Amino acid sequence: MSAHSPEHGRYDAIIVGAGVGGLYAIHRLRKLGLSVRAFEAGGGVGGTWYWNRYPGCRCDVESLEYSYSFSDELQQEWRWPERYGTQPEILRYINHVADRFDLRRDIEFNTRVKEALFDGPTSTWTVKTDTGKTATARFCVMATGNLSTPRKPDIAGLESFKGKWYHTGLWPHDGVDFTGMRVGVVGTGSSGVQSIPIIAKQAKHLYVFQRTANFSLPARNVPMPPDKESAHKAEYPARRRAAYDTPFGIAGYPPPVKSALDATEEERLKAYEAKWAEGGSISYLYSYTDLLLNKEANDTASEFVRRKIRATVKDPKTAELLCPNDHPIGTKRLILDTDYYETYNRDNVTLVDIRSKPIQEITPTGLRIADGEYALDAIVFATGFDAMTGAMKEIDIRTDAGLSIQAKWQDGPRTYLGMMIAGFPNLFMITGPQSPGVKSQMILACEQHVDWITDCIQYLRDRGLTCIEAEEAAEDAWVQHNNEVADRTLYPLANSWYVGANIPGKPRVFMPYVGGVTAYKKKCDEVAANGYRGFHFGASFKEQAAAN
């Protein structure tokens, strides 16, 4: 393979993105002896944790789980101060990982990849960046993230607004002080729900513009109990292994044993109450076996949360508006909050229903809906992302055979195992669509993919092979399997970003794999153990040398 040669930008592997997945890919591929180059649009490492600096931003998976497992020294030495990591803490951790494993020297920051072109005869990818750089490599690894393409809605008049506006996913690095301001937050997904209680404490008045109510559970965040930390750390390797044997890649939650419909009303209330008190989404959804499979079972868990909302929010009209009624609980990303519903009891917070009275325009002084204008000094768009496919489709990914990712994914993503795409040889994705990624513990998902990709490249090298590509038939079968698995659940009932419903015109396709981490990993391991079943290989180095 080629030696590192920065002048000509020739590498063995190009990695797009230096978030959690990209960083680990640098580490593993470098250890394999490959020359690697990562391009990162941000000015630092961290991906989603680099960009999402909005107030209250916090992970919804517990810190002791949401961390790398590849180095026992790392997981033993890092101290997580709280049950759930805040964005600054997680970013500090990712920076520590980058330094500890000397990853920065292979990363070009402030550099966005705009194009990636595959050349068949040489089995290489050439990428072009917005800084005018061209780089070539045999392998291209897309570590571009699932929630990395922020979308603000197309609302007329935004350019005329005299105040300041922000997107939660592109938050200013030096923070925003809303003291004394009239602030509007548009959007009540995780980003809205996490930031609203904090902005409410600063703002003179906060208007929350809600189109759809979401379910949110108390996080019950606490400082990390020292005994919990030491017990967890003592069992870390076993816990990490056990995580692969769970549906969501998170160990430590006893799996449910019975249907919600086999429990009495009294039993159910007791169970839900205990989970509500404990905090956390996995725990709640693990109350019964069928909460994500059976609507009637789910109704019991959904109604419990609606009752909690009604009991918390004093104004009955506001409470009713906050009660989600268009989707079963858990079929959209279940939110964890701190004092979200309580915030609506503050005198300086107003919930505005933009479902019945949609936003008409933004004016120089505020935001107008059907029944009038709300005067605002600042607007926060917590309006989400072009999830799962947005970042890939923003790059002009093409092959010399005339195939483009835009055309290939016109009707929704098609992948084999969420890691490769038929027609795009030597292009790997970390946590791509049709893998469990966003439906699991993301760092575990990234590690599993990077390990698989590293083993795959090792396999090719051992055999002198230069090219691997997913077979069309294997991809078709995988896409079909994904859809069948999703259709057995309640997930498709929700208008979520899992189906692209938040982006007007995006094809409605269920994108994450929801067959569970255990089944997914088993499938990936079997494919590899069987000589990468469902993939075909291109010319060997020897054949290529002979042809030249």
- Please give the residue ranges that form the binding site for ligand NA7 (CB under 6 A): 147, 153, 168, 186-192, 211-212, 333, 354, 359, 382-384, 497, 502
User: Toward ligand NA7, which CB reaches closer, 69 or 188?
Assistant: 188
CB of 504 to ligand NA7, least distance (A): 8
**CA gap 521, 190 in Å, rounded:** 28
Nearest to 346 by CA among 215, 197, 214: 197
Do you know the residue count of the chain?
548
Q: Kindly state the smallest distance separating residue 438's Cβ from ligand NA7, in Å.
A: 6
Nearer of residues 17 and 192 to ligand NA7, judged by Cβ: 192
Closest CA to 478 of 535, 398, 410, 411: 535
Residue with nearest beta carbon to ligand NA7? 189
In the complex, minimum distance from the CB of residue 170 to ligand NA7, in angstroms, rounded to a whole number:
11
For residue 206, the cross-strand partners are 183, 349
Count of other CB atoms within 10 angstroms of residue 177: 8
- For 474, phi then psi, to 5°, come to -65, -40
Output the six-digit token pair for 461.
Answer: 């090298």
**CB closer to ligand NA7, 136 vs 188:** 188
Widest CA span of the chain, in angstroms? 79
| Nearest residue (CB) to ligand NA7, 94 versus 271 | 94
Among candidates 302, 270, 520, which has minimal Cα distance to 419? 520
Distance CA 9, CA 22 (A): 18
Structure tokens that stand for 317 in this block? 């009209």
Q: Give whichever of 191 and 441 is closer to ligand NA7, judged by the CB atom.
A: 191
What is the chain's alpha carbon radius of gyration, rounded to the nearest angstrom?
Answer: 24
Which residue's CB is nearer to ligand NA7, number 186 or number 419?
186
The answer to whether residues 51 and 42 touch, using CB atoms and an 8 Å cutoff, is yes
Smallest CA-to-CA distance from 504 within 405, 419, 386 is with: 386
- Least distance (Å) between residue 187 CB and ligand NA7: 3
Instruction: Quote the least distance from Cβ 432 to ligand NA7, whole Å.
Output: 16
Smallest gap, in angstroms, from Cβ of residue 222 to ligand NA7?
21
Choice between 164 and 211, CB closer to ligand NA7: 211
Tell the smallest beta-carbon distance from residue 371 to ligand NA7 (Å).
16
